[in-house]
A and B are shown apart, each in its own frame.
Chain A
Amino acid sequence: MKFEMEYFDVREIRFSEKTRFSDGLLSIDKNELIRQLSSDDRIAVIDIELVRPGENARITNVLDIIEPRIKTGVESYFPGMLRWPGPSGEGVTRVLRGATVFEIGAAQGFIGGLVDMDGNGAPLTPYSKTHNVCLLTAPGAGTSLVEYGLALKQAGCKASVYLAAATKGVTPDEAQIFDLDLGKQETSLPRVGYLFQLHSHGDSREPFVYGDNSRHYYPTILHPNEILDGAIVCGHYNLSVAIKNYTYSLLNHPVVAGLYKRHGKELCFGGVVITPEPTSMTDIKRTSMMAANLLKNVLHVDGVILTKEGGGHTDVDLMQNCDECEKLGIRTVLVDNEWLGPDGAGEMPLLAGSDNADAMVSVGNIDAVVDLLPMGRIVGGRAMHDFPGPLDGQLRMPLRFLATAISQIGSNHLTTEGR
């Protein structure tokens, strides 16, 4: 499978009469963008605000973050979510690099994240360095939470495509080809795969794969290109931001991109298996057995990286997957966050364990607390579900509220060290 990514670097954003992109300046016709998103009465797009890198600003109630992208020819993206059958991972994709679309909404039952563009919270989140187009939304009258979530997802995806469409006819700053044949290659390099656990505990608590809920999937092989090119999007608005992956992280998946980068040099990338995280032991055992079998006997990998998505329950899935892989002779490395309490003195970093889990990477203590400075501008509201107190002043806040500070797929540099 082969596709080309064309990168258009965004250096400035502003509202303007007409949406266009030239010389790094993304001009946005706000009224037209709002019009594009207003055909769905399950959601009200109240306003759009622009927030720039380094600005003295705090963005709140962030439910998802998307990188603006479009597929040349079909002029759409996010197959299954928008009207395009896909598959992802072929053709040419145009990316507004350095820009994002923020899905913002405060609704009882949804858990939003927070992004500080300045101060000591800024280094903890990648989105303090991006130009952020913030969609401020509310549920339409009489709309259920699940329906609002679906409509919000649509709006975010549409806005992403709308903005990326402005690159039509423009020369990209950089282009990169993603070309990988998963057939068994003659190589002495270690063959490495990736087992990607997707949370799947119910509506509003799971991502979408080609538009369908992750809980409807059994372990499935995806070509790495499909993941890097929009096959999976975030849909888990009722999950704390630290234990889910925003769409932006999925589109720039660090494990998939990392294995790609080292393919043919230090290792041979053998492919990806995505697998759900079921809610019963019987199902967990079945999916882990099937996933390990795909890795061993279909993808023929000798080593695998495992990541999880979700809270403590999903340590069970992680350990079960680890055991099944090791049983078949596949060496494993597990990536997980730790639960160590605000002071880092907790005695139980994970809820489940295994003797086979001898090589683990920590993405940090999810319970740690950060002190954030007051910010001059607040976008997204002064209150946030599950966090007491107004959000405009100085804040002492659990790290788990900061967008992608904890990244269970390893986007971030955070880890823990003994003290």
Chain B
Amino acid sequence: MLEKEFERAGIPAVLVTALLPIARTIRANRITQGIGITSPLGDPRTSRAEEKALRRRIVLEALDALAREPADNKETKGRIGG
């Protein structure tokens, strides 16, 4: 719900979450797929280096969503997690 208040105040906000259906239910404008509930921006089953590379990709996707109008903001693909 926070992202909606940020957007209402004119600050673009991207929600990074594992569970897109919740983001859609609450009608968030900008959404990026995170990995898992228990680890939205990491994958504990991979090495620390791989994990950070994965995190970097998600963050870049999220920043990209901030720099675009939501109409062309595609949902991004999730990976197995948590």
Residue numbers of A with Cβ under 8 A of B are 201-202, 278-284, 312-313, 315-316, 319-320, 348, 350-353
Contacts and interface: CB of A to CB of B under 8 A. Distances in A.
A279 B40 CA distance: 10
Contacts of B21: 281, 316, 319-320, 352
Contacts of A282: 78-81
Contacts of B36: 279-280
Contacts of A202: 38
B82 A279 contact: yes
Nearest to B35: A280
Contact of A201 (B20, B38, B80): B38
Contacts of B35: 280
Contacts of B81: 279-280, 282-283
Contacts of A351: 22, 25
A278 B80 CA distance: 10
A281 B38 contact: no
Contacts of B39: 279
A284 B80 CA distance: 10
14 contacts: A201-B37, A279-B36, A279-B37, A279-B38, A280-B35, A280-B36, A280-B37, A280-B79, A281-B19, A281-B33, A313-B22, A320-B21, A348-B26, A352-B21
Contacts of B82: 278-280
Contacts of A278: 82
B18 interface: yes
A256 B22 CA distance: 30
Contacts of A316: 19, 21-22
A217 to B, nearest CB: 16
B78 A352 contact: no
A281 B79 CA distance: 8
B22 A312 contact: yes
B32 to A, nearest CB: 12
Contacts of B18: 279-281
Given A313-B19, A316-B19, 7 more contacts: A279-B36, A279-B82, A280-B36, A280-B78, A281-B18, A281-B19, A316-B22
Listed from nearest, the 5 A-B pairs whose CB atoms lie closest are A279-B82, A279-B37, A280-B81, A280-B36, A279-B36
Nearest to B39: A279
A64 to B, nearest CB: 23
A326 to B, nearest CB: 15
Interface in B1-40: 18-22, 25-26, 33, 35-39
A280 B22 contact: no
A281 B35 CA distance: 8
Contacts of B26: 348
Interface centre among A278, A281, A348 (most CB of B within 10 A): A281
B25 A313 contact: no
A340 to B, nearest CB: 15
A350 B25 CA distance: 9
A189 B51 CA distance: 53
Given A280-B80, A281-B78, A283-B80, A352 B22 contact: yes
Nearest to A285: B78
Nearest to B38: A279
Contacts of B20: 281
Nearest to A205: B38
Contacts of A315: 22
A299 to B, nearest CB: 26
Interface string B31-67: 0010111110000000000000000000000000000
Contacts of A348: 25-26
B10 to A, nearest CB: 24
